Structures are given as structure tokens and as C-alpha cells.
A = this chain, B = another copy of it.
Amino acid sequence: MTHGNGSAAAEADMRWNGWGDPAKAKDLPLAVRTLLPLLLGRIRKPASAVDLDAVVLAASALDDADLAAFAQIVGTENVTTAHEARVRHSGGRSTPDLLRLRAEDQEAPDGVVRPASHDEVVACLRVSVERGVAVIPYGGGTSVVGALRPERGQHRAVVSLDLRRLSGLVRIDEVSDEAVIAAGTTGPDAEAQLAAHGYELGHYPQSFRYATIGGFAAARSSGQNSTGHGRFDTMVTGIRVATPTGDLELGRSPGSAAGPDLIRVFLGSEGVFGVITEVRVRVHPIPRDRVLESWTFPDFASGVDALRRVAQAGGGPTVIRLSDEAETAVSLAQVGRIGKALAKGASAVTVYEGEGIEHRRMRTSAALLAAGGTSAGEGASEKWLAGRFDGPYLRDSLLDAGVFCETLETATTWSNLATLRSAVDGALRDGLADAGARSYVMCHVSHIYPTGASLYFTVLASIRTEPSSVWSRVKARTNDAILAAGGTISHHHAVGRDHAPWLESEIGATGVRILRAIKRELDPTGILNPGALLPAERTH
């Protein structure tokens, strides 16, 4: 089996202590700058972030023999303990991660190893077991749940296993609409290589520009087109995995009753059972047409009712997203209405692509109208589409300006959605108020199912001191509230280290025992991503 070399990266290297292409970083728009004091009161500008060179790391715990062993597999040029590489692999892109990256003293992996094939991954795992080195699989580096934090567990060192050299379209079956993609391929690279054959995967999470196919699988990602194409789970038809004790090639047929679907053991395994090296996915011809339509609803509740009708009828839009009143107000403010009263009601975006657009739009529109919606033309939807991957740039600018900004998400059944939203909203507001911070909490629904939907929260707050520790307390309170109100600890951000203490509340003690039993079987010395998914203190 040969891997393509991967096309040229579609994006520049990620800013080392923020999001995305450094050239695209920008100041806060005037509208936002005007709005923030109205929402949050006076904002205190924080100390500047340190320069990369000024970051202080502990010396690498890898010795010459470790480096030689890895180099023998991947070549000297693909093993490094260089300062910049270590810092760049020291975490993901949650707000706590970004705040850590602004400080002088930082933790980082002891080195970075870059295998280029499944066999090299297998060999790297063997060496890691032999030498007692923990391994953190690294894809696009976009985790927002602490999955990349350089925890070494009981091991004497920890390396970041950067998988981006496993890149490219391995093969495509144009009869079966299936493609095998190397796990380290980024979203844009995968789409570019599929597009050369006239195909699209159609998975567009906000992390799309940097995140990898293997990361989508390991973290159970869900993209903006999930209403049309389903979450990433549903796109996967096969998977190849390297574990410390054996390989797997799973997924012989599109439907099977040959025992439990073991692909599902690895979707969401977050690198603790093995390293995903290839993913087989359902693809579809690039859609020819796209239709956009924005909607407004009297309030969030009537919008939710509308989305429920659409989900339960099926055959609806490719994208549908509903912002609550708070998010609607700010979004409209940003597009130029600042100075007027903030907009009222709840706005929604719909996008239709692919087969039968007109029919799907007609049926969807009927459902939205019946629930009290009003069509609002293309404008807001076009704006959303143009900026849909840019949210994280805005967060960087807010952090620079001293505004704390973070997101979190959950999901539940339609009948429980209002209860869950209220519980999360209350935990966030009350938690921040108890810390003396003014806050502004927004919510949207962006992934719908016949039986329920996700809730995605964005929090802005003026936290005067120690934002990381304040947020840690607020987040814990919010997680407790989510589970008490019947929500899931994560709809699509995954568990990582940040949510691991709550996993047992979600799946029960017996569920955790199942995961630990699989972990013991596949990774008996516990080298893989210690402390992610399963709380560290009880892994062994």
C-alpha cells in the first residue's frame, strides 16, 4: 500500500500561541470594540504574551539512545527535541491552552517524532514500549479538551507523535463512493485530493483548515454539514489502527452483523487504545449547486421547534443553525447595526447542497414557516458561510484585548433541550458572577437529529484575575450541571483530559471498566496518551 505525498498544505503553519495563519490575525472590528463595554463593562488589558524564544521549558528527558531508536525508524530529520517544535506540540487550542501559551513557564513533550507510514507508527510504538516513553498522537493540534497536554503518566518521558506525514489519498473506489485517506491528512488536503476525482467528503468542523482525518475519527467530530451528511462517525466505513500489541483493519462491508462494530471502539478512543493510521470514508460527488436562505424566529423556543420539525421530517437542508437571542443580537451588531437597539428574535442559517435541492428547500421552508419563521434572504447566510472557519481568530483578538472567550457544547433530546440550555446557561452566568466577572452567554443549535440536538455555548467574560483558575471552577460547575440535566459531557469536542473526570457520570462505572479492559489488552504498559479519556490516577 502506498501513500501519496500529500498536496501542499492549504494553510500556513498555525500561529504558535493562537489560531491559524499568523498573517490573518487581525484587530477586533470596530463594532465589537464598541459592543464589548456595553456587554461586559470596563475591560482590563492583560500583560502581553511572551515570545516563543522566551518560553522556559524543562530539559528534554529523552536521551541519545531514545533519539537514535526513533531516528532509526523515521530518519534523523524526523525526530527533534528543538525548542520551537516542543512548544508547538505542547497543547491544543482551548482557551486554557492559549492562556498557558502566553505564560513564561510551560510544559512540553520531550520531543517530536514524525512517522510517515503505518509501519513506522507500529515501530515507533514498539520502541516507546521498550524504552518506557509515553506517546501522544498528534494530528492537527486543534483539540479544545486538553487531549494533547504532555502528560507522561508513570513513564520517564513523553513524545508527541506527529502524524501529518501520513498524508494523502491512499485509494478511491469511484463505483462504491468510498475513499481511503491517510490519517494525518488535513481537511483541506483531503478535499483537494478528492476534488481531483470529482468527489467531496463534506466534513467541515470549525477546525477544518488544520484538523486531520485521523483526528476527526479519534475525537468523533461533527461538522457544519452534519444535517446533510451526518457526523463523522457515520461517514467512516473502515479504519486501520496500530496498537502496541497488534494491528487492526476493520470494516469489511457497509453493513454487518459479525459481532459488535469494532470501528466504534476506535471512533472516540482519542489515542488511548492505538493510533489510527488510515480511515475509509464514504464520499459523494461534489455538489453542483448551493442555495442559501436565512430565517428569523420570534424567539429561540419557536426556532427550536422549527428545527425539530425539520429533523423529524428528514430530507432537509445540508446545514441548519439556529442562534439564540443573545447570539443573534451580537451577530447582527457585527454586521453593522451597532448603535441601534440590538436585534430581537432568533436567527437561523440554512444551506442546501446536492440532490433535490428545490424539493428539500420547499419542504424545509414549509416546516420553518409553520413554526413561526420568516425568510430573511441570503445575506446573513452568505456572511456565515464566508466566515465559518474564522471564529477562532476573533477569540485570539478578544484574549489580546482582555476579554475571556471560550466555547463548550452538549446535546440532549428535543424534549429536554430547554431544560438543559437553562441549566448550562445558569451554571455559566452564576459561576462567573460568583467570581466577580460580568459575562455574556450565547447559544446555538447546529447539529440536529430526529430525537434531539446539540447546544453550543459561547461565553464572553471580563475576568479580572487568574482567568484560567476562575474558568476551571466555572467549567467544573457547568459540567456537573450538564450531567445533572441529562446532557452529554460532549457532543463533538470529545473528552480529552478536561472532561475525563466526568466520563464515569456519563457512561457509568461499568462503562469505564469496559474502556479500561480494552486499554489493558491493547496497551498493557499504558504508553498511549496517559490521562486522556480515562482519568490518569486510575489507569493502572
Q: Which residues of A contact B (CB under 8 A)?
A: 173, 175-178, 219-222, 226, 231, 233, 237, 243, 245-250, 252-262, 264-270, 282, 284, 308, 312-315, 355-356, 359, 363, 410-416, 447, 449-454, 486-495, 499, 503, 506-511, 513-518, 520-522, 533
CB nearest to A500 among chain B residues:
B259
Is B413 a contact of A253 with CB atoms below 8 Å? yes
13 example contacts (A-B, Cβ-Cβ < 8 A) are as follows: A173-B413, A176-B452, A245-B513, A246-B510, A247-B510, A254-B412, A254-B452, A256-B411, A257-B495, A259-B507, A260-B266, A264-B264, A359-B359
CA distance A518 to B412 in the complex (A): 28
Contact for A257 among B176, B221, B259, B315, CB less than 8 A: B221
Q: Chain B contacts of A176 at CB under 8 A? A: 413-416, 451-452
Query: With contacts A261-B267, A499-B258 known, is A412 near B220, CB below 8 A?
Result: no
Q: Which residues of B contact A486 (CB under 8 A)?
A: 252
Residues from chain B with Cβ under 8 Å of A222 in the complex: 255, 257
A307 CB, min distance to chain B CBs, angstroms = 13
Contact of A284 among B282, B312, B487 (CB under 8 A): B312
Chain B residues, CB < 8 A from A414: 175-177
Given contacts A254-B449, A356-B363, contact A508 B175 (CB under 8 A): no
Compute how far the CA of A479 lies from the CA of B507 in the bound complex, rounded to whole angstroms. 37
Query: Is the pair B355, A257 in contact by a Cβ cutoff of 8 Å?
Result: no
The answer to whether B258 touches A489 (Cβ under 8 A) is yes
Query: Could you tell me if A259 and B515 are in contact, using CB atoms closer than 8 angstroms?
Result: yes
Q: Which residues of B contact A489 (CB under 8 A)?
A: 258
Q: Is there contact, CB below 8 Å, between B522 and A510?
A: yes
Cα distance A231–B255 when bound, in Å? 8
Find the residue from A173, A266, A359, A451 having the highest chain B CB count within 10 A. A451
| Chain B residues with CB below 8 A from A246, complex form | 508-510, 513
Q: Please state if B255 and A411 are interface contacts (CB–CB under 8 Å).
A: yes
Partner of A256, one of B248, B451, B490: B490
Q: Report how far A250 CA is from B507 CA in the complex, Å.
A: 6
B312, A177: Cβ atoms closer than 8 Å: yes
Are A487 and B517 in contact, with the CB atoms below 8 A?
Answer: no
Asked if residues A264 and B261 are in contact (CB atoms below 8 Å), the reply is yes
Top 4 nearest A-B pairs (CB, nearest first) are A246-B510, A517-B521, A254-B449, A264-B264
Give me 4 other A-B pairs in contact (C-beta within 8 A), A221-B257, A256-B411, A259-B268 excluded: A173-B413, A176-B414, A177-B312, A219-B257
- Closest B residue to A265 by beta carbon equals B260
Query: Which of A270, A447, A488, A533 counts the most B-chain CB atoms under 10 A from its CB?
Result: A488
Q: Which of B254, B262, B264, B490 sits near A507, CB closer than 8 Å?
A: B262
> Chain B contacts of A447 at CB under 8 A?
255
Task: Name the residue in A262, A447, A517 with the highest tally of chain B Cβ atoms < 10 Å from its Cβ.
Answer: A262
State which of B173, B269, B451 has its C-beta within 8 Å of the C-beta of A237. Answer: B451
- B254 engages A451 (CB within 8 Å): yes
Residues of B within 8 Å of A245, CB to CB, are 510, 513
Q: Are B507 and A514 in contact (CB under 8 A)?
A: no
A371 vs chain B, min Cβ distance (A): 13
Nearest neighbor of A230 in chain B, beta-carbon distance: B255
The reply to whether A259 and B533 form a contact with Cβ atoms under 8 Å apart is yes
Q: Give bound CA distance, A416 to B178, whole Å.
A: 12
Q: A266 to B511: give the CA distance in the assembly, Å.
A: 11
Given A177-B451, A507-B259, A314-B355 contact (CB < 8 Å): yes
Assembled-state Cα–Cα distance A259/B270 (Å): 8
Contact partner, A249, options B252, B508, B514, Cβ 8 Å = B508
Q: Which of A313, A486, A510, A533 lies at the interface centre, i.e. has the most chain B CB atoms within 10 A of its CB? A: A510
Q: Which residue of B lies closest to A257 (CB)?
A: B220
Q: Tell me how far the C-beta of A112 lies from the nearest C-beta in chain B, rounded to whole angstroms.
A: 26
Closest to A247 in B: B510
**Could you tell me if A250 and B411 are in contact, using CB atoms closer than 8 angstroms?**
no
In the bound complex, residues from chain B placing their C-beta under 8 Å from that of A453 are 254
Whether the pair B259, A412 counts as a contact (CB closer than 8 A) is no
CA distance A271 to B514 in the complex (A): 16
In the assembled complex, how far is the CB of residue A531 from the closest CB belonging to chain B, in whole angstroms?
14
Whether B411 pairs with A253 at a CB distance below 8 angstroms is yes
Alpha-carbon gap, A220 to B314, bound state (A)? 23
A451 engages B282 (CB within 8 Å): yes
Contacting residues, chain B, for A219 (C-beta < 8 A): 257
Question: In the complex, are the beta carbons of A178 and B508 less than 8 A apart?
Answer: no
Query: Whole-angstrom distance between the alpha carbons of A415 and B226 in the complex?
Result: 27
Decide if A356 touches B508 in the complex (CB within 8 Å).
no
Candidates B257, B265, B267, B509; contact of A493 at CB < 8 Å: B257
